[in-house]
Structure 1
Amino acid sequence: MTAPRRIATFDHDGLIFDVQDTGPLDGTVVVLLHGFPQTGASWTETATLLHQRGYRTIVPDQRGYSPRARPRGRYAYRSGRLVADTVALIETLGAGPVHLVGHDWGAIAAWSTAARRPDLVRSLTTVSVPHPGAFLRAMLTSDQLVRSYYMFLFQLPWLPEFALRRLPRVLDRTLTGTGMTPDQIEQVRRDIVRGGALTGGLNWYRAMPFLHPAALRTRVTVPTTHVWSDGDTALSRRSAELAGQYVDAAYRLEVLTGVSHWVPEEAAATLAAIIDRTAREAA
């Protein structure tokens, strides 16, 4: 068996993705996928706590975020490409199936990867965003549609970029309202806005019209935990409650009280314990 090796990047689709590979080199692998508007740095505290439990964590800066992985045009950000990126990362590791974790848009990529390639996933932990089918049903049966108003605004060309780059109060008010701290907002301004990742991140939303209808019906067949927080202004409880209907394996819904959307930073210790429990039960 080949000895494990650290990776700092991986290649896919003509793109080069940056990766943070930390923790015990011989530890069980956990892949952590970030969301919008953040980079892999959002997982720092959770990853550190997982290291203390013996896990090796792999955290990529995803498509649109890594400086050498920012293709032009929204079609390059469709779901199939996001899944293919994750598959390429796992195959680059050569460590067999991994424990896959995703927050926000990273959760969508994680749900889809686990559904399409269960051979590469030992367990799945999704944070905040449910299965795409559950999300759509929640939009039709709860206040989720109202909560998701920003997704429709993000479909507009150039205007969201203009507002978020040129009108600092828009960014501050929007993110403060979701529960982000001033330090987190400054990191978004530095890494995403000034760092050149804003259009790439928005293109994940702009590629939503290309989602194949089959993705709304695909089922997950690996042990899964979905984490939802009652302070999340973007995701309804109804969406979380529906997520389990798309899992044909051991499933648990974890509800965090008094926590905003930004779970990996705000409740890192709790989230690390949940990931560990899901991984151990799937072993």
Structure 2
Amino acid sequence: MTRLTTYARGPLFFDVTDTGPEDGTPVVLLHGFPERASCWREVAPLLHAQGLRTYAPDQRGYSPGARPRGRSSYVVSELVADVVALIEAIGGPVHLVGHDWGANVGWSVAARHPELVRSWTAVSVPHPAAFVKAMKTTRQGLHSWYMGLFQVPLVVEGLARWAGGPVDQGLRRTGMSRDEVARFRTEIVEHGALPGALGWYRALPLSRGRGMGGRVRVPTTLVWSTGDSAIVRPGVDWCEQYVDAPYELVVLEDVSHWIPTHAPEPLADAILARIASVA
């Protein structure tokens, strides 16, 4: 077997970190904002130790070869199609895992392409319909205030050039360590990925009804943490309503939003338990 280091969808080329036993069962790991595939660096080895092969792509806007212009290029249906293309390149079906925005995209992949997903583990972010309901009826809107700021062109990009400035400070307030903020500066800001990463948010007004959500019919786990400053509990509790398959909620106490790097062992345990449930 050979390693999958890149794959194409149309004119776009995506970088992939393919590690673990070459004959291992495939697991796709989807990163969130503002991180790249390296956010799985603590989790992936724990999965490899159990015989699993992991594929972690740098997604649209993050891979240098996949940074199209215009916010319409970042609607959820396009992000979903990118993941489908990866699974088809692997030869699917796969076990799917996603954190933050990767979870938002993964929910739609699992709902719309169940034939490609053997199991689904969402990390931090509940089903899109549960999240929207929470936005309308709970304090979720107050916790998601930054989404409005991200809609303004060039503002965040300009602020992010300031090392130690408000963007770095904001990430620290969410629980990121100094080393993790430094990685953000290196892998996102200096790498040129920030405009494309923000495109995911800026395309949200165009994404309604275009590939978002749907009922999930594959075995599902949601891993959420009580220290998450971005996601409030009600949407998490409503998530089960949108899953027509075995479902489990795993709650990690006093862990920040950055579960893959702050709690890799319990996260890996939850992923492995979900995979084992369908083995």
When the two structures are superposed, what TM-score results if normalisation uses the length of structure 2?
A: 0.98
Q: Deviations over 1:72-91 (max 9, x none)?
A: 11110001100100000000
Aligned-partner Cα distance in 1 for 2:47–2:233: 27
Q: Deviations over 1:49-91 (max 9, x none)?
A: 1101111000000000011111111110001100100000000
Deviates more, 1:158-167 or 1:231-240: 158-167
Aligned-partner Cα distance in 1 for 2:10–2:198: 20
**Matched AA of 2:263:** A
In structure 2, the residue matched to 1:241 is 237
Aligned-partner Cα distance in 2 for 1:266–1:53: 21
State how 1:1-283 maps to structure 2 within 5 Å.
4-94=1-91, 96-166=92-162, 168-213=164-209, 215=211, 218-283=214-279
- Would the aligned equivalents of 2:43 and 2:268 in 1 still touch at CA under 8 Å? yes
Q: Deviations over 1:74-130 (max 9, x none)?
A: 110001100100000000011x31000000000011101011100000000000111
Aligned-partner Cα distance in 2 for 1:183–1:57: 24
Aligned-partner Cα distance in 2 for 1:13–1:181: 37
- Would the aligned equivalents of 1:127 and 1:227 in 2 still touch at CA under 8 Å? yes
- Would the aligned equivalents of 1:219 and 1:246 in 2 still touch at CA under 8 Å? yes
Q: Deviations over 1:6-39 (max 9, x none)?
A: 2100000310000000000111111000000000
Deviates more, 1:61-70 or 1:216-225: 216-225
CA 1:196 to 1:216, structure 2 compared with 1: closer, same or farther past 3 Å? closer
Q: CA deviation at 1:211?
A: 1.5
Aligned-partner Cα distance in 2 for 1:119–1:243: 21
**Matched AA of 2:118:** R
Q: Deviations over 1:165-219 (max 9, x none)?
A: 2363212210110000000000000010111000000000000011233756610
- Any gaps of 5 or more consecutive residues in structure 2? none
- Would the aligned equivalents of 1:147 and 1:233 in 2 still touch at CA under 8 Å? yes
- Would the aligned equivalents of 1:102 and 1:110 in 2 still touch at CA under 8 Å? yes
- Would the aligned equivalents of 2:108 and 2:213 in 1 still touch at CA under 8 Å? no
Aligned-partner Cα distance in 1 for 2:235–2:261: 22
**Matched AA of 1:144:** Q
Among all aligned residue pairs of Structure 1 and Structure 2, give the percentage whose two residues are the same amino acid: 54
Aligned-partner Cα distance in 1 for 2:141–2:111: 25
Q: How many residues align?
A: 279
Q: CA deviation at 1:282?
A: 1.7
Q: Deviations over 1:110-161 (max 9, x none)?
A: 1010111000000000001111100000112211000000001100111111
Aligned-partner Cα distance in 1 for 2:163–2:6: 34
- Would the aligned equivalents of 1:98 and 1:121 in 2 still touch at CA under 8 Å? yes
- Would the aligned equivalents of 1:133 and 1:215 in 2 still touch at CA under 8 Å? no
